[in-house]
């Protein structure tokens, strides 16, 4: 049987988006993320992080730094008894026109294959419209969880969005509760 999955964006969704996070010490998880992901795991969802990390192509940090940040992230999740099933990142610059930078779907396709995922039973959770776009393109349900300080600005452009999310959440736990009713 194929697995259902939650694809989760990293910056701005799991942790506060400090723009080009380069230091594990600056990794700050949003409230409710650990508890929320634990609830999803307990329902049998695979948890897959999908993140754009153009800071690598831009020369702001090297992959080793990214791996160190992901070690810290994994450790923080472990405190909630959560083991992440996969972390996929795009290291490219937008100008590289790669197929893996969201809203492109290369990383999703890789994850779907490697984890035998049924995308129709899966969700994409992210803070940006590009997360919604990528999720829609692969055929997942999508939840937008805007960061609090940019929420109003983001939602004011709603009419121009190419893809509308299935749900706009107040915060991470609200997104989780919605998924738990929806799936
Ligand atoms: Mg983000
Ligand atoms: Zn890429």
- pLDDT, tens digit, 9 for 90 and up, residues 87-131: 999 999 999 999 999 999 999 999 999 999 999 999 999 999 999
Asked if 154 contacts 161 with a C-beta cutoff of 8 angstroms, the reply is no
Q: Is 170 a catalytic residue?
A: no
Active site residue 9: yes
> 48-74 pLDDT, tens per residue?
999 999 999 999 999 999 999 999 999
d(CA 105, CA 109): 6
For position 23, what pLDDT does the model report?
96
At residue 148, the pLDDT reads: 95
Cross-strand partners of 50: 88
The closest ligand to the CA of 107 turns out to be: 2
d(CA 84, CA 86): 6
Kindly report, residue by residue over 169-181, the tens digit of the pLDDT.
999 999 999 999 9
Ligand 2 center to 180 CA (angstroms)? 31
Q: Beta partners for 49?
A: 8, 87
Q: Name the CATH topology of 5-182.
A: Rossmann fold (3.40.50)
Query: Among the options 11, 17, 85, 127, which is catalytic?
Result: 11
Omega of the bond leading into 103 within 30 degrees of 0 (cis): yes
pLDDT for residue 113: 98
> Strand (E) positions, the chain?
5-8, 46-52, 86-90, 123-126, 141-144, 167-168
pLDDT band of 137, cuts 50, 70, 90: very high
Neighbours of ion ligand 1 (CB under 5 A): 9, 11-12, 127-128
Q: How far, in Å, is the centroid of ligand 2 from the Cα of 182?
A: 31
Q: Are 103 and 63 in contact (CB under 8 A)?
A: no
Using the mean position of ligand 1's atoms as its centre, give its distance from the Cα of residue 26 in Å: 16
Cβ burial of 181 (10 Å; 0-12, 13-18, 19+) is exposed
Residue in the structure block whose two tokens are 């600005």: 153
Q: How far apart are CA 109 and CA 156, in angstroms?
A: 31
What confidence tens digit (pLDDT) does each residue in 147-162 have? 999 999 999 999 999 9
Question: Domain extents for the chain?
Answer: 5-182
- Structure tokens given for 180: 């738990």
Q: How far is the CA of 27 from the centre of ligand 2 (A)?
A: 22
């Amino acid at each position: 049987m194929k697995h259902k999955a939650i694809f989760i964006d990293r910056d701005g969704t799991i942790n506060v988006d400090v723009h080009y996070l380069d230091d594990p010490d600056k990794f700050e998880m949003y409230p409710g993320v650990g508890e929320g992901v634990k609830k999803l795991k307990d329902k049998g969802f695979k948890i897959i992080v999908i993140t754009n990390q153009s800071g690598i192509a831009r020369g702001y940090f090297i992959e080793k730094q990214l791996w160190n940040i992901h070690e810290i992230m994994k450790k923080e999740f472990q405190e909630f008894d959560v083991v992440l099933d996969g972390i996929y990142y795009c290291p490219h610059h937008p100008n590289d026109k790669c197929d893996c930078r969201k809203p492109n779907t290369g990383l999703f396709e890789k994850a779907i294959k490697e984890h035998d995922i049924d995308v129709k039973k899966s969700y994409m959770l992210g803070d940006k419209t590009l997360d919604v776009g990528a999720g829609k393109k692969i055929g997942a349900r999508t939840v937008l969880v805007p960061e609090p300080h940019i929420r109003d600005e983001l939602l004011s452009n709603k009419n121009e969005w190419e893809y509308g999310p299935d749900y706009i959440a107040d915060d991470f736990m609200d997104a989780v509760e919605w998924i738990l009713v929806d799936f």
